[in-house]
Structure 1
Amino acid sequence: MPSGPLIVQSDRSVLLEVAHPAAEDARHDLAVFAELERAPEHMHSYRITRLGLWNARAAGHDAEDMIGTLERYAKFPIPQSVAIDIRETVGRYGRLVIERDGDDLVLRSTDAAVLTEISRAKRISPLLTGQRSSDSYTVAPWARGQLKQELVKLGWPAEDLAGFTPGTPHKISLDTADWNLRPYQDHAVDNFFTGGSGVVVLPCGAGKTLVGAGAMARAGTTTLILVTNTVSARQWRSELLRRTTLTEDEIGEYSGAVKEVKPVTIATYQILTAKRKGEYAHLGLLDAMDWGLIIYDEVHLLPAPVFKLTAELQARRRLGLTATLVREDGREGDVFSLIGPKRFDAPWKEIEAQGFISPASCYEVRVDLPQQERLEYAASADDERYRLAATAPAKLRVVRQLVDKHAGERILVIGQYLDQIEQLADALGAPSLTGSTPVDERERLYQAFRDGSITVLVVSKVANFSVDLPEATVAIQVSGSFGSRQEEAQRLGRLLRPKESGLPANFYTLVARDTVDQDFAQNRQRFLAEQGYSYEILDADALLVA
């Protein structure tokens, strides 16, 4: 009789017994194709979804691999219906293929019934310009991206083999005099080019920028890099100058402050989505060069308008970089269809075990609200309760205690609300950094934090993304974006870059007990539980006594 840590249920949910000796191995193998839904202390629950199965298939795993994982770790025989469902769902990927035939874009299938079904679908038939043969239709030249989106929604994801424009050749080499791509970074670049386009998932601090640089060197073409903000753009520029043979004359910045178009151009999402008189003002950038590669940094944050623009860029090779494919708006399907499927995914704990990111301890510190604040919270409208709980003044003394406990270390104090950030900065005598902080001042503060002249920095969510602060060893999350799992991943990621100091990383989340703050914290922690991190619950009063 099997005696593993998994219980596989007929509704495609999977329970993982956390205390089981094989739980870590099972979690690692299950994460290839299943998504963690809930992570209480003893039993985690996963869901096997269509998109998860298709992403796994695109990354090279077949149905028998996935069923084998379930059978290997299952406590009881897996339901026959689940095995059949996995085979049939995985079998849908690639039954439809988009190809080029001369100058024509063609949708082809060896399954006549499937081809007939989709060709008559209301949202797909306008994208097809005619039947070429019994097994193929011609696709409107502009419709490649939209067709893939609609096919995913119908449950028939197409494999895109139509190829890519090579772009204007531009020689780019890695300057590896004193460094080399790590094995997993090399593997990620290989997988990307094998698949053509898609997403590489790596933890913050694991060198996603270097994967981008490796892809650029392999492609040897003009490259457009899209990033979250100007600080990130300048960090990309600095890293490319340090790690490749590119010179300053070859790298342009296209942002609110500067408008340069060069063989390698780094642009912000904000500038691409900026409108003037109701029209996108900078769309010319997409055609300003014959781009052979487009890199989407932090692809899980792609703004909705960029999806629409990306639908028209399917002839360009596209690389998405992210620490998590989770999107709070549920548009993972659009990432899959428009950027491409997941090509590489390295579990955080695996890279930590190899010594490439720092080990981290995660703590949830539960804070009791004083009676008067409890009454105010109870009497408030639903839409006011999270702010009241997240900004509870009782959290301030806990922050002070934690800052004292880690005196001398580099500490980030992270908040969601501007008045709370200002209050924390005043109380700690520390500088604050928010969305309204000018870019030059942000860079000055980040550099002062890196060199140790500032050891405590109070930041808003602007520090969630693409900010390189390798010596940060402590993060104190006082408030966040409701239940955002992607934000939790980004914030822990600020601590995971290996430290010259050798100090371990400590991640604290302050939570008002018995409030929606606590409910949201459980959702945020799901992502980290999926990566193998566990939270230790601390009581704030006990912490203060200690």
Structure 2
Amino acid sequence: MFDFDMLGLSPALLSAIKANGFDTPTPIQNQAIPLALDGHDILGLAQTGTGKTLAFGLPLIAHLSEATGKPAPRSVRALILAPTRELVNQIADSLRAFTTGTPLKVATVVGGQSIGRQIATLARGTDILVATPGRLIDLMDRGAVDLRTAQHLVLDEADQMLDLGFIHALRRIAPALGTPRQTMLFSATMPKQMEELSRAYLTNPRKVQVSPPGKAADKVTQSVVYMDKADKPAKLREILDRDPDALTLVFARTKHGAEKLMKGLVADGYNAASIHGNKSQGQRDRAIKAFRDGTITTLVATDVAARGIDIPGVAYVINYELPDTPDNYVHRIGRTARAGREGEAIAFCSAEEVDLLVQIEKLMKVEIPVAGGTRPRAVAMEKPQRGGGRGRGQGQGKPQGHAKPAGRVMAAEAAPAKRRRPRRRRAA
């Protein structure tokens, strides 16, 4: 058994840790904190919900507390990059709990919020800036932030930043930081491209790995239920009715699908809300707060929330639709069984999704227990057309070789397209 006072942290930080209710460091914290305090670059691999934020956050605060003077206008002393707004806010809130009563300032910049207000905040300088790459690039282009004074860089959930196409942003941001610097890269999975990223940005890193990449948290009970796509709504309601007061996170594949699913639940009397890319930041923040408080018991989300929700009370994660990327399954189910608690993850799998399930099991090197139905033959999913589809994302097309399901038909589909009349040539 280890205690935080054995890791080399200052008395002030140890008091803050105790005041925030932490007694024993997690394995990733126990291994990473001493190395980070010594100034090493860190490559950290651990399951979601294992305390990675404090693994890099506490050493960061310790280093910055030793600095003298205030940050210069527009300057940043430490930069933390994360892929989503929710994760940025979560990291910042966690760090502020340990900087209260100190001169250290923590600021955030994300899309969907007033850039003018963010420019005004950065104009005063900040010690720790937590940012999404896209908005940070916007601010750099406007000359609103100077990263040359940053001596610390943290890439959190780096694999999802790669999935979301932030590699080009990282290539612009990293060279703008000061050197020499300490760089820490944390993630739950280790795709090949991230290995290349670590070689490019880390110098003689110490690798800290507390579980195999792609492995789910030990306290998550997983199961899969095979069913027809049309049976999913009824099955979801059956599960929600078993434990109406439990916090349940439901994942859909597309923004349109998540919103439609949420509205159907609300219409049936369920206490539900949704978060996805079409929601404003304010709407997303309010929904997460209501979910955290228990005012909302069912939250329907796309993968934008897979790594941005740190709510210890989530009892169930339901994969209403399996993700297109196997790594995202690991992050989705990591929203439950957090902070040492137990949780249950249930996956719905139709014939169109069997191949996705196979890829997930291959990544995790386990066969997910079957809780109902039998595995059907895989049916190829129709690929979405570029530029088309009002709300139909990847995997939302009808199965090939199957009749179109009954229901309301879009106007564009209901009427045949009009033929264009050929132009008559004018007489010469």
TM-score of the aligned structures, taking structure 2 as reference length: 0.68
**Structure 1 equivalent of residue 274 of structure 2:** 432
Count how many residue pairs are aligned between Structure 1 and Structure 2: 328
Amino acid at match of 2:167: A
Pick aligned residue for 1:346 from 207, 210, 217: 210
1:476 and 2:318 correspond: yes
Aligned to 2:49: 205
The 2-side partners of 1:343 and 1:194 are apart by 14
Kindly tell me: are residues 218 and 268 of structure 1, through their superposed partners in 2, closer, same or farther at Cα, counting changes over 3 Å?
A: same
Following the alignment from structure 1 to structure 2, what is the Cα–Cα distance between the partners of residues 293 and 183?
23
Distance in 2 of aligned mates of 1:394 and 1:448: 29
Assess, with a 3 A threshold, how the Cα gap between structure 1 residues 521 and 274 changes in structure 2: closer, same or farther.
farther
1:69 is aligned to: none
Which SS does the other structure have where 1:393 is aligned? helix
1:510 and 2:348 are equivalent in the alignment: yes
In the TM superposition, 1:75-90 aligns within 5 A as none
User: What is the letter of the counterpart of residue 438 of structure 1?
Assistant: S
2-structure distance, mates of 1:506, 1:226: 30
- 2:357 paired residue number: 521
Answer whether contact 1:181 1:210 (CA < 8 A) is retained: no
Preserved CA contact (<8 Å) 1:413 1:475: yes
Asked if 1:305 is matched to 2:160, the reply is no
- Secondary structure, in 3 states, of the residue corresponding to 2:207? strand
User: Aligned AA for 2:346?
Assistant: Y
- Secondary structure (helix, strand or coil) at the match of 1:535 reads coil
1:42-121 paired onto structure 2 within 5 Å? none
Match of 2:328 among 487, 490, 515: 487
Distance 1:248 1:437 in 2: 35
Describe the SS at the equivalent of 2:92.
Answer: helix
Q: Shift in Å at residue 476 of structure 1?
A: 0.9
Distance 1:211 1:541, change over 3 A: same
Distance in 1 (alpha carbons) for counterparts of 2:225 and 2:277: 27
Q: Which residue of 1 aligns with 2:285?
A: 443
- Look up the match of 2:8: none
Mapped to 2, the partners of 1:399 and 1:248 lie a distance apart of 49
Aligned-residue offset at 1:254? 2.5
For 1:496, which of 332, 337, 343 is the aligned residue?
A: 337
Structure with more strand by fraction? 1
3-state SS in 2 of match to 1:290: coil
* Distance of aligned partners of 1:441 and 1:284 in 2 relative to their CA distance in 1, 3 Å threshold: closer
Residue correspondence of structure 1 range 360-375 to structure 2 within 5 A? 360-368=220-228
1:423 counterpart (260, 263, 277): 260
- One-letter amino acid of the counterpart of residue 487, structure 1: N
Q: Residues 194 and 524 from structure 1, CA distance in 2 versus in 1: closer, same or farther, beyond 3 angstroms?
A: farther
CA distance in 1, matches of 2:212, 2:265: 32
For the structure 1 residues 342 and 423, does the alpha-carbon distance in structure 2 shift closer, same or farther, using more than 3 Å as the test?
Answer: farther
Q: Relative to 1, partners in 2 of residues 1:363 and 1:519: Cα closer, same or farther, differing over 3 Å? A: same
Alignment of 1:308-319 (within 5 A): 308-309=171-172, 312=175, 313=177, 315-319=180-184
Q: Kindly indicate whether residue 369 of structure 2 is the aligned counterpart of residue 536 of structure 1.
A: yes
Give the match's secondary structure for 2:191.
coil
Contact 1:326/1:485 (CA < 8 Å) preserved in 2?
A: no
> What percentage of residue pairs aligned between the two structures are identical?
20
SS in 1 for 2:355: helix
Q: Structure 1 residues 541, 299: closer, same or farther in 2, change over 3 A?
A: closer
Maintained 8 Å contact 1:310/1:339: no
Q: Say which of 313, 321, 324 aligns to 2:186.
A: 321
Provide closer, same or farther for how the CA distance between residues 399 and 541 of structure 1 changes in structure 2, counting only shifts above 3 A.
Answer: farther
Specify the SS of the correspondent of 2:317: strand
- 1:490 is aligned with what amino acid? H
Q: Is the 8 A contact 2:78 2:152 kept in 1?
A: yes
Question: Contact 1:241–1:247 (CA<8 Å) still a contact in 2?
Answer: no
Matching residue of 1:266: 130
In the other structure, the counterpart of 2:149 is 290
Distance in 1 between residues matched to 2:308 and 2:185, nearest whole Å = 14
Question: Pick from 187, 209, 234: which aligns with 2:31?
Answer: 187
Superposed CA deviations along residues 374-421 of structure 1, whole A, max 9, x for unmatched, are xxxxxxxxxxxxxxxxxx333222222222233321111110123322
1:193 positional shift: 5.3
**Equivalent position SS for 1:398:** helix
1:440–1:348: structure 2 CA closer, same or farther, 3 Å change rule?
A: farther
- Kept after mapping to 1: 8 A contact 2:40/2:206: no
Please tell me whether residue 458 in structure 1 is matched to residue 317 in structure 2: no
Residue identity in the other structure for 2:350: A
Residue 96 of structure 2: which of 237, 241, 255 is its match? 241
Structure 2 contact 314–336 (Cα < 8 Å) conserved: yes
Q: CA 1:539/1:212 → structure 2, altered by over 3 Å: closer, same or farther? A: same
- Listed one character per residue, the Cα deviations across residues 90-128 of structure 1 (whole Å, up to 9, x for unaligned) are xxxxxxxxxxxxxxxxxxxxxxxxxxxxxxxxxxxxxxx
Distance 1:205 1:407, change over 3 A: same
Note if contact 1:364-1:510 (Cα within 8 Å) is conserved in structure 2.
yes
1:223-242, aligned counterparts within 5 Å? 223-242=78-97
Higher RCO (C-alpha under 8 Å, 6+ residues apart): 2
| Residue 458 (structure 1) shift | 1.0
The change in CA–CA distance for 1:331 and 1:250 in structure 2 (over 3 A counts) is closer
Cα distance in structure 1, aligned partners of 2:349 and 2:103: 46
Give the residue type in structure 1 aligned to 2:209.
D
Quote the offset at 1:208 in angstroms. Answer: 0.9
Tell me the amino acid that sits aligned with residue 306 of structure 1: A
Distance 2:286 2:212 in 1: 30
Structure 1 residue 248: Cα displacement: 8.2
The answer to whether the 8 Å contact 1:173/1:245 transfers is no
Structure-2 residue corresponding to 1:382: none
Deviation at 1:172, TM superposition (A): 8.8
Work out the CA distance in 2 between the residues paired with 1:498 and 1:181: 11
C-alpha contact (below 8 Å) 2:250/2:317 kept by paired residues: yes
Deviations 1:483-539 (A, max 9, x none): x1220121011012137xx6x3111111113x3x1011111233333xxx6510233
CA distance in 2, matches of 1:451, 1:488: 25
Counterpart Cα distance in 1 of 2:311 and 2:26: 24
Deviations 1:289-347 (A, max 9, x none): 511211111111231113423552563211112111236xx453223332455620112
Report the residue type matching 1:251 in the other structure: V
Matched, 1:394 2:231: yes
Deviation of 1:362 after TM superposition, in Å, equals 0.8
Aligned AA (1:526): K
User: Displacement, 1:478?
Assistant: 1.8
Aligned partner letter, 2:92: R
